[in-house]
Structure 1
Amino acid sequence: MAVVLIAVIYLYISPYCKYVIQGNSRPADAVESFKDDWYLIGGFSGEAGEEFSFLKQNNRNLSTDIKGYFINDTIYCFVPQNTNVSRLRASFTFDGKVSVDNKLQISGLSSLIFTDTVVYSVKNGPTTKNYSVIILKSELPTLQIDTYDEERVLAKVRYVGGTLRLYDTESGYAQQVLPVEIRVRGNSTASLPKLPYKFKLDSAKSLSGLTPSTDYTLLANYYDPTMTRNTLAFAIAEHLGMDFVPESHMVDVIINGEYCGVYCLTTQVDVSSASVDITPITESDTSGEALTGGYLLELETRIYDDMTNAFFTSSTIPVRIKSPSLPTKEQTEYIQNYLNEFESCLYSEDFTYNGKSLEEYIDFESFAAMYWTNEIMKNTDFPVPMSYFVYKDRGGVLSAGPVWDFDIAAGNIMERPDAMDPTQWLSTDTTWYGRLLENEDFNRCVRDMYYENKAWITALPQYTDELISSVEPVQNNNFIRTYIGLNERLFSTEDNDFYKDVSFLEEYLTLRLEWIAQNVDDLENRVVTTE
């Protein structure tokens, strides 16, 4: 049965696991090879191998090398806000004699003012080619990571060491300088032009005002041209009262002098005071009360790639144990049996099992908040399921959360007409919820939560406006570097137009919320009366 389910799920999700790049090549140790669907329109070298950079050894006001990004005959250089560019010495490799305003330029020696566009002329025999150099400054905090020996960060299985510098938007100096280890993270997103990352510090530190943590994630939001869907989902879950919601902050990211784009900096989903703040379970907790928690689980279809710490429930829901990272046999058996007992209760005729009711297995409020966050955003990953977290604290019941991974939610997937349709329920027949909504008490909890928060939910498009306004000033820099190119564009609109994508999102949410308001009472019709 499980094998059949895996095959069906693979066929369902395989269209969404192919998004990679053509053009710039990656070394053999990369997570996956790039394919033909994605492409970039530039690179950190020109078509004929030209290079342009500002090296820190030649520029005392720089803390890292800044590499120029070539798009045709324009070279973009991305630097933190308030970087002094009044006098910079450029290093370059061009085939020919290089000049600016008819003045000879020597690589690494000639100093110029770069407050405005500077045009370099390269004369090779009878031909002259001009390159426009443009300095782009960040309007966000800038997270800069320099790895040791400039080792490239391309693998999921191995951390690369280095130094992290975090610049605020006011000073030209790094506010924090910390040792760091970084690697690639993600599933399908790990093979995109704009890679997502996970990094860890040697001790808990607060970055950009987030709760101090040792483990952080950089969400690339490459699938989402508005760069806001994940943050919007976090806000919904927090307002609906979920206990553990990822904190986040937008930052610009530079790695080894290469500008990577705008990222969502957030704490890693794990058992910690900065994320899922429950009692950690240790290797010695193998009996009694200690064995009951805390566990962090991920309902994740893609466990067929790696069955480590993974199992299927009695109803074939795929589950991976995220914490503890190395569960004992007793711990694995306990949490698997707990989920199986919950399902026995859920699918029983009267919602009881061994004398226990449904509320003695799960927390209704968190499961209702999870339902509404995914339903409002119409998150197509949720029913599969993908990136669906639940946790169980010591002595407690199973709770839903944190919410995660909404970049292809809210209609952002053209290959799925049903997902782009802002009407109809998404989650009512999937991953436990079809049966949960047949339970009178849970159904009432879901409907009550909606009406208690209706005013805020109805105003969600206005909140989206505020979120968009924080991203709008930096979107141009992001899309110069990480242009979303497709042979057949997958997401939202067919144009690479930030403002069209924003309009689509706002219109989609408006129509979605109108439909929910008109149909929320119909959920009561799903209740099944038990004797």
Structure 2
Amino acid sequence: MSILWYRMMRSYRSLVIGAIIGMASLSVWAYTWTESSSVRIHQHLQPGKVEGCTHDETVFCTHLPIVSIKTNGQKLEIQKVGDDKRAYRVSNEIIGEISVIDNPSTYNHLKDERAVHTRTKLKYRGNSSIKFDKKSYKLNWIHEDLSENRDENFLGMGRHDEWVLNGPFLDKTLIRNYMCMNIAGEIMESTPDVRFCEVFVDEMYQGVYVAMENVAKDIDRVDLTTYKKGDPFTSYIVRADRQRGLPEELNNFTHYANRMERDTALEVIYPREVVDMPELKTFIERDLSKFEKALYSYDYDDKAYGYRQYIDVESFVDYFIINEFFKNYDAGVFSTYLYKDIRGKLHIGPVWDFNNAADNFIEVALDEKGIQMVQRNWYLMLMKDEDFVEAVIRRYDKLREGWLNEEVLLNYIDETVGFLGEATERNNVVWGYSFDPTKVSSASRLKPIERNLTSYEMSISQLKNFIIQRGRWLDQHIHTLRQYAHESRVKQFNH
């Protein structure tokens, strides 16, 4: 009897110790957070340059970096691809030249010494924005002999061959992408770096642009282990976007089960070898589907069998808050990235494209009220888990004390506007006609037409007012997220 009693007590003690360890682990998950460890450069906060220029106004002079593109007589054109239901627009690609002028302490001029000069593949980029008068560009820098991959340091953002020049047009403030990407970069790892610059194409001034890292595998971007040819497994980056029937599109579980947003699909960004290696594509589909099957199962919230064992929960929480706060409602549907290192868990991000954020969405007005990210891919189920909802609420409250604080954001806007200074005036000499909505196409203005702001000052005031009202509304209503995890809503999903 004593031996049996001893064994029972030993077993009971093991269970108690295991429970304590498990509770401690949950506590760590619930209350600790890893902030972005990368050093974020906010261009407008860097030391100023020697003020002003002594020459006359015929010489272009700016405190911003200059990016000059030459097309060498070639023409970029846009064509429509696909049927009406899934039609999209793409640009042809040309090979041109690019020069970057970025003096460290003095103003910049077109004839100054070039920090970078290289051949580049060049094309228009964007989905909706490709229709705008002010075009955005994708750049792939190449060697003089036209071979691929000439890595150069671009405006202090590190060495790489792939870059984006984002041309704010619908965003009359010019600063949404710059501000939101930088704020997100202080919160989430791998957020692309951004810098303001002024752009010339074939010696014609094109205005203020935001130079950006694109989303790519790299030690300074999305840091993943490199795929080794022949391996049956790989780290990967995928993107949710418009379904286009591309060979790199996945038939993951959410897509197969018709749970993806209508006419969207995941496509593989890295590794590109999936185009020619069906077995590699199948590995990514199955690996990603493990998370999705767990998420849509009766055990979705189970500590051992549910979604948590597959994803970096913190990234999903932060992604939700950043995009919800700024009402960036393309997130979770279009331009939505996920990545996974073979050594770790699935992350959502990096964040991308805030051009439509803060009530700048073309199709409909989005005031300070409401929460929509709860309906997006994957979040529809994540929000049914009480632990996930509580993590969102705690994290939101914490971020409102820091980078999402009202005073911080309003100061950020003022400082950025002040930094741009005369560059904004030069930009609006070229593109200022867009403040009259009757002078742009319906694809380049907000609907209804009365929503369009008619001056730069009004656009800045609108952005500020949105930030104030949105933050205060969420402060009062963030706790209503608990309704989505309430037993009355989720009992049909529970085990």
Same fold, TM-score > 0.5, yes or no: yes
| Map 1:421-436 → 2, pairs under 5 A | 421-436=367-382
Matched, 1:396 2:344: yes
- Cα offset for 1:257? 0.6
- 2:61–2:108 Cα contact (<8 Å) kept: no
Choose from 346, 354, 357 the match for 2:295: 346
- Cα offset for 1:450? 1.3
Choose from 462, 481, 485 the match for 1:523: 481
- Cα offset for 1:178? 1.8
Deviations 1:445-480 (A, max 9, x none): 212211222212123233222223223431121122
- 1:344–1:353 Cα contact (<8 Å) kept: no
Matched, 1:361 2:310: yes
Matched, 1:294 2:217: no
- Cα offset for 1:403? 0.5
- 2:66–2:108 Cα contact (<8 Å) kept: no
Letter paired with 1:151? Q
How far, CA to CA, are the matches of 1:359 and 1:344 in structure 2?
12
Other-structure match for 1:186:
126
- Cα offset for 1:83? 8.2
What secondary structure, in the 3-state scheme, does the structure 2 residue paired with 1:515 have?
helix
- 1:447–1:521 Cα contact (<8 Å) kept: yes
Matched, 1:490 2:436: no
- Cα offset for 1:422? 0.8
Instruction: Name which of structure 1's ranges 479-488 and 186-195 shifts more when overlaid on structure 2.
Output: 479-488
- 2:393–2:479 Cα contact (<8 Å) kept: yes
How far, CA to CA, are the matches of 1:200 and 1:260 in structure 2?
20
Other-structure match for 2:225:
279
C-alpha change, 1:177 and 1:234, in structure 2 (3 Å) is closer
Matched, 1:503 2:461: yes
Choose from 61, 66, 89 the match for 1:142: 66
| Map 1:421-500 → 2, pairs under 5 A | 421-456=367-402, 457-459=404-406, 460-483=409-432, 484=434, 486-487=437-438, 489-490=445-446, 493-500=451-458
RMSD (Å), alpha carbons: 2.5
How far, CA to CA, are the matches of 1:414 and 1:171 in structure 2?
35
Choose from 104, 107, 126 the match for 1:170: 107
- 1:136–1:477 Cα contact (<8 Å) kept: no
Other-structure match for 1:221:
168
Letter paired with 2:69? I
Instruction: Name which of structure 1's ranges 253-262 and 520-529 shifts more when overlaid on structure 2.
Output: 520-529
- Cα offset for 1:209? 1.4
How far, CA to CA, are the matches of 1:403 and 1:258 in structure 2?
32
- 2:178–2:194 Cα contact (<8 Å) kept: yes
Deviations 1:373-416 (A, max 9, x none): 11011012125x11011101112211011100110111013631
What secondary structure, in the 3-state scheme, does the structure 1 residue paired with 2:396 have?
helix
- Cα offset for 1:355? 6.0
What secondary structure, in the 3-state scheme, does the structure 1 residue paired with 2:199 have?
strand
What secondary structure, in the 3-state scheme, does the structure 2 residue paired with 1:315 have?
helix
Instruction: Name which of structure 1's ranges 487-496 and 245-254 shifts more when overlaid on structure 2.
Output: 487-496
How far, CA to CA, are the matches of 2:312 and 2:472 in structure 1?
28
- Cα offset for 1:278? 1.1
- Cα offset for 1:500? 0.1
Other-structure match for 1:8:
none
Letter paired with 2:75? R
- Cα offset for 1:326? 2.9
How far, CA to CA, are the matches of 1:448 and 1:171 in structure 2?
46
Deviations 1:14-70 (A, max 9, x none): xxxxxxxxxxxxxxxxxxxxxxxxxxxxxxxxxxxxxxxxxxxxxxxxxxxxxxxxx
How far, CA to CA, are the matches of 1:83 and 1:258 in structure 2?
21
- 2:182–2:193 Cα contact (<8 Å) kept: no
Other-structure match for 2:363:
415
Other-structure match for 2:84:
none
How far, CA to CA, are the matches of 1:493 and 1:470 in structure 2?
27
What secondary structure, in the 3-state scheme, does the structure 2 residue paired with 1:217 have?
strand
- 2:153–2:159 Cα contact (<8 Å) kept: yes
Aligned residues: 393
Deviations 1:245-269 (A, max 9, x none): 1101000011111111111001121
Gaps of 5+ in 2: 1-50, 79-90, 143-149, 488-493
How far, CA to CA, are the matches of 2:381 and 2:303 in structure 1?
19
Other-structure match for 2:268:
321
Choose from 197, 204, 207 the match for 2:151: 204
Which structure has the highest helix share of the two?
Answer: 2
What secondary structure, in the 3-state scheme, does the structure 2 residue paired with 1:455 have?
coil
Deviations 1:500-523 (A, max 9, x none): 001001001110000111111222
How far, CA to CA, are the matches of 2:69 and 2:130 in structure 1?
19
How far, CA to CA, are the matches of 1:350 and 1:380 in structure 2?
29
Letter paired with 2:347? S
Letter paired with 1:321? V
Choose from 231, 237, 248 the match for 1:309: 248
What secondary structure, in the 3-state scheme, does the structure 1 residue paired with 2:373 have?
coil
C-alpha change, 1:163 and 1:464, in structure 2 (3 Å) is closer
Instruction: Name which of structure 1's ranges 444-453 and 358-367 shifts more when overlaid on structure 2.
Output: 444-453
Choose from 311, 328, 331 the match for 1:382: 331
- 1:221–1:227 Cα contact (<8 Å) kept: yes
Other-structure match for 2:47:
none
Other-structure match for 2:96:
161
- Cα offset for 1:528? 4.6
- 2:101–2:114 Cα contact (<8 Å) kept: yes
- 1:248–1:265 Cα contact (<8 Å) kept: yes
- 2:63–2:107 Cα contact (<8 Å) kept: no
Deviations 1:133-182 (A, max 9, x none): x76643311111223x3333446342313242324352541341421312
- Cα offset for 1:431? 1.2
Instruction: Name which of structure 1's ranges 330-339 and 166-175 shifts more when overlaid on structure 2.
Output: 166-175
How far, CA to CA, are the matches of 1:139 and 1:190 in structure 2?
28
How far, CA to CA, are the matches of 2:213 and 2:362 in structure 1?
30
- 2:61–2:107 Cα contact (<8 Å) kept: no
How far, CA to CA, are the matches of 2:279 and 2:305 in structure 1?
23
How far, CA to CA, are the matches of 1:245 and 1:296 in structure 2?
14
